[in-house]
C-alpha cells in the first residue's frame, strides 16, 4: 500500500496567503521575500494535516455541517473514527482562515482494499488501474457556509492548493484523481478540467446520488502551469473558475520550497525554478488552452 510519503508525516502548517506567508519560509526558499496579501485578501489562510483528535473533530464538524445542508446521511463518519488516525491510506487536510478551521478534504490512496469509489463504480476504477495509473481519491470536501464570498473563495483555493501539493508530494508520474460529486456540482468541477466517467449512481455512504469525475494529475498540473506562475497577471486568459483559484493561491515562487520541505529535502536555493514531478524546472507554457469558464460557487461533495 502506498503512503503519502512526506505529507503523511508532515507536522507543520503551510501558509497559503496572508501577511504571515513570507515569514513561514526560509530565506533560500523565496526569491521575492516580502509580506504580501494575495489578490487583495484581507485574511490569511493555511493548510495542515489533521493528526490530533481535536483536528479530526474539527474536520468532522465541517463535513457534518456541509452534508446536513445537502440532505446527506452522515452515519458513515461514525464508522470511520477508529481508522482516521491509524489508516496509512487516508489523509485529512484542514484549511484554516485566520487560524480558524474553515475547510477540509480527505484523500484515500489505493491499496488492497481499494478506494471508496470501487463500491459504486468498480468497472471505471478497474479501467483506470488497468492503464497503470495510480489512483488518489478525493472525498469529504467541505467548507463553512460563508456569507462573505471572498472568504469562501480563499478557503476553496487553499483546498485546491492542498490537492496539488499532496499529489505532487507522492512523486508518482502517473496519477489519476477520482472524486464522487453531487450531480449539481458537475459543472463546476468540469470547468476546472475534471471529466465525467460514469452515469449518476447512488452513493451508499451518504444515501444520495453521485457522479464519478476524474482528472489526470499530469493534465491538472499542465493547466495550473498555464496560469499559476503568472498569479495576478494575465488572469483574463484563464476561465473564471481558475481565476478564482489562482487569485487566492500561494505565490508560485513558494511552491518548490514547500514541496521540498514536505518531501523532507533541503530547501532549494533562491535561483531555482519550481520543479515538476520528474525534477525538471517548471516553466509556464504559452497561453491559452485553459478550460472554459464555469460557475464558481463553493461546493461540498462526498
Q: In angstroms, rounded to a whole number, what is the distance separating the alpha carbons of residues 111 and 286?
A: 38
Q: What is the mean predicted confidence (pLDDT) over 25-33?
A: 40
Strand, helix or coil for residue 22: helix
Grid cell 494535516 in the structure block, residue: 49
Per-residue model confidence (pLDDT) at position 134: 92
291 domain-assigned: no
pTM of the model: 0.77
9 domain-assigned: yes
Strand partners, 212: 180
225 domain-assigned: yes
288 domain-assigned: no
CB atoms within 10 A of CB 107: 24
300 domain-assigned: no
Query: Alpha carbon of 92 to those of 8, 28, 60, 63, 139: distances in Å?
Result: 10, 29, 10, 11, 9
Total domains in the chain come to 1
- Enumerate long-range contacts of 280-287, CB under 8 Å, 24 or more apart: 282/225, 282/229, 282/255, 282/256, 283/225, 283/229, 284/225, 284/226, 284/228, 284/229, 284/230, 285/222, 285/225, 285/226, 287/226, 287/234, 287/237
Question: Who's near 280: CB < 8 A, 6+ residues apart?
Answer: none
Q: In angstroms, rounded to a whole number, what is the distance separating the alpha carbons of residues 254 and 240?
A: 24
Q: What is the pLDDT of residues 41-50, one digit of tens each?
A: 567 888 999 9
270 domain-assigned: no
Q: What is the pLDDT of residues 62-112, one digit of tens each?
A: 999 999 888 888 888 876 665 666 777 889 999 998 889 999 999 999 988
CATH assignment of the domain containing 133: 3.40.630.30
Query: Alpha carbon of 198 to those of 72, 195, 292: distances in Å?
Result: 21, 9, 21
Quickly list DSSP for 72-133. ---THHHHTTTTTTT-TTEEEEEEEETTEEEEEEEEEE--TT--GGGTT-HHHHHHHHHTT-
Q: What is the pLDDT of residues 253-281, one digit of tens each?
A: 778 788 888 877 544 433 334 444 444 54
Q: Are 261 and 267 in contact (CB under 8 A)?
A: yes
Domain that holds residue 169: 5-262
Q: What's phi and psi for 111, nearest 5 deg?
A: -165, -160
163 domain-assigned: yes
273 domain-assigned: no
Per-residue model confidence (pLDDT) at position 85: 65
Q: Which three cell numbers stand for residue 127?
A: 479501467
Instruction: For the chain, count helices (H), then strands (E).
Output: 9, 9
Q: What is the mean predicted confidence (pLDDT) over 165-181?
A: 85
Amino acid at each position: 500500500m502506498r503512503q503519502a510519503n512526506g505529507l503523511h508525516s508532515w507536522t507543520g502548517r503551510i501558509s497559503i496567503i496572508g501577511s504571515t506567508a513570507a515569514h513561514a519560509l526560509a530565506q533560500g526558499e523565496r526569491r521575492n521575500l516580502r509580506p504580501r496579501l494575495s489578490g487583495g485578501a484581507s485574511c490569511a489562510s493555511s493548510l495542515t494535516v489533521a493528526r490530533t483528535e481535536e483536528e479530526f473533530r474539527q474536520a468532522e464538524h465541517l463535513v457534518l455541517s456541509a452534508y446536513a445542508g445537502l440532505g446527506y446521511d452522515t452515519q458513515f463518519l461514525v464508522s470511520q473514527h477508529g481508522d482516521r488516525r491509524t489508516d496509512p491510506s487516508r489523509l485529512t487536510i484542514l484549511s484554516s482562515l485566520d487560524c480558524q478551521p474553515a475547510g477540509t478534504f480527505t484523500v484515500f490512496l489505493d491499496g488492497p482494499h481499494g478506494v471508496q469509489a470501487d463500491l459504486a463504480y468498480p468497472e471505471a476504477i478497474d479501467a483506470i488501474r488497468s492503464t497503470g495509473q495510480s489512483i488518489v481519491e478525493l472525498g469529504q470536501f467541505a467548507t463553512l457556509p460563508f456569507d462573505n464570498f471572498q472568504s469562501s473563495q480563499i478557503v476553496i483555493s487553499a483546498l485546491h492548493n492542498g490537492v496539488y501539493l499532496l499529489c505532487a508530494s507522492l512523486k508518482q508520474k502517473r496519477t489519476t484523481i477520482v472524486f464522487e460529486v453531487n450531480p449539481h456540482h458537475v459543472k463546476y468541477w468540469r470547468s476546472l478540467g475534471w471529466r465525467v466517467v460514469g452515469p449518476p449512481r447512488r452513493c451508499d455512504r451518504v444515501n444520495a446520488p453521485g457522479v464519478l469525475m476524474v482528472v489526470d494529475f499530469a493534465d491538472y498540473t499542465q493547466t495550473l502551469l498555464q496560469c499559476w506562475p503568472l498569479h495576478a497577471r494575465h488572469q483574463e486568459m484563464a476561465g473564471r473558475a481558475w481565476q478564482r483559484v489562482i487569485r487566492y493561491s500561494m505565490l508560485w515562487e513558494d511552491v518548490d520550497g514547500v514541496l521540498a520541505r514536505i518531501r523532507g529535502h533541503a530547501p532549494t536555493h533562491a535561483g531555482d525554478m519550481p520543479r515538476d514531478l520528474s525534477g525538471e524546472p517548471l516553466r509556464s507554457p504559452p497561453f491559452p488552452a485553459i478550460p472554459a469558464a464555469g460557475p464558481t460557487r463553493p461546493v461540498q461533495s462526498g
